[in-house]
Amino acid sequence: MGLIAEILIPVVLFYWFAFCFTVIAWLKAISNLCLGNFTRASTYFSIGCGLLFWWVGSDIDWDTWVGGSAVIVSVGALGTFARFYNRHQRAAQTVTPFGTNQ
């Protein structure tokens, strides 16, 4: 009985932690997207997709997944850059220039 438990418990724990990490990755992706943290959201989205591909057993190799994740995270970083650039432009429009006397 002890030998079965020594083999079965680590296997069950591995799959349990993998399932928990998959759910946490997707929840963090959704919450970071709602908060406007696009780079973090895209990172967690890529991790969640990778784990989902692993669970489903699809035939996606490591290089394909890393390349797709790099594209997704790059788009998230561009979204974050656009958000901060837009914020900077609005702040620059509200400030009066130094040479004006009113």
Domain residues of the chain, as ranges?
2-94
What pTM was computed for the model? Answer: 0.78
Q: What is the pLDDT of residues 45-63, one digit of tens each?
A: 999 999 999 999 888 898 9
Structure tokens at 94: 């509200």
Q: What is the pLDDT of residue 71?
A: 95
Sequence-separated (6 or more) residues with CB below 8 Å from residue 99: none
Q: What is the pLDDT of residues 62-75, one digit of tens each?
A: 899 999 999 999 99
